[in-house]
């Protein structure tokens, strides 16, 4: 009987350890930072001057980049070298609703997530913002 209880305890302990492994491995590899949208005035139209500058909380976990702001968010896969080029649907600041619709399909995010050199664009605007990283 003593041998059987020890075996059961060892199996339960091993199973508990296996259940914890994914939780320990994921967050330890994640990088998080803040990124502020800064309008690239040279590459952007006049309509872009009225709005949309958010601060994003960026997270790079493995090959997934996530950006969260008050009203815009995205999640995209990155290449092994950190490059990203993707589209997402986002909403603009409510203050813009007098001049343009608040639903703007096809925002793009491009650049390199590993070096934190990223930019966001609304090509149909055309508007381009640098995502300026800060700690």
pLDDT for the residue 69: 86
Residue 17 binned pLDDT confidence (cut-offs 50, 70, 90): very low
Q: Checking phi first, is residue 9 left (phi over 0); if not, alpha (psi -120 to 50) or beta?
A: alpha
What is the rounded average pLDDT for all residues in the chain? Answer: 75
Range among 1-10, 30-39, 85-94 rated most confident: 30-39
Answer yes or no: are the C-beta atoms of 84 and 76 closer than 8 Å.
yes
pLDDT for the residue 96: 47
pTM attached to this predicted model: 0.66
Answer yes or no: are the C-beta atoms of 84 and 78 closer than 8 Å.
yes
Answer yes or no: are the C-beta atoms of 95 and 130 closer than 8 Å.
no
pLDDT for the residue 92: 52
Mapping DSSP onto H, E and C, the string for 57-112 reads EEEEECCEEEEECCCCEEEEECCCCCEEEEEEEEECCHHHHHCCCCEEEEEEEEEE
Could you report the per-residue pLDDT of 24-63, keeping only the tens digit for each? Answer: 444 457 899 999 989 998 988 877 766 667 889 999 999 9
Cα-Cα-Cα-Cα torsion 22, 23, 29, 33, nearest 10 degrees, comes to 140
Q: How far apart are CA 69 and CA 57, in angstroms?
A: 6
Better pLDDT: 91 or 75: 75
Range among 26-30, 74-78, 88-92 rated most confident: 74-78
């Amino acid at each position: 009987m003593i041998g059987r209880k020890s075996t059961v305890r060892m199996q339960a302990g091993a199973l508990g350890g296996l259940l914890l492994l994914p939780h320990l491995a994921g967050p330890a590899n994640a990088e998080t930072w803040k990124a502020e949208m800064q309008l690239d005035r040279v590459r952007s139209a006049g309509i872009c001057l009225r709005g949309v500058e958010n601060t994003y909380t960026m997270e790079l976990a493995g090959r997934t980049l996530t950006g969260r702001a008050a009203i815009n968010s995205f999640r995209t896969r990155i290449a092994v070298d950190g490059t990203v080029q993707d589209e997402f649907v986002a909403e603009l600041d409510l203050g813009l609703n007098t001049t343009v619709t608040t639903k703007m399909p096809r925002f793009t995010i491009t650049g390199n997530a590993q070096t934190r050199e990223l930019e966001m664009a609304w090509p149909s605007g055309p508007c381009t913002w640098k995502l300026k990283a800060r700690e």
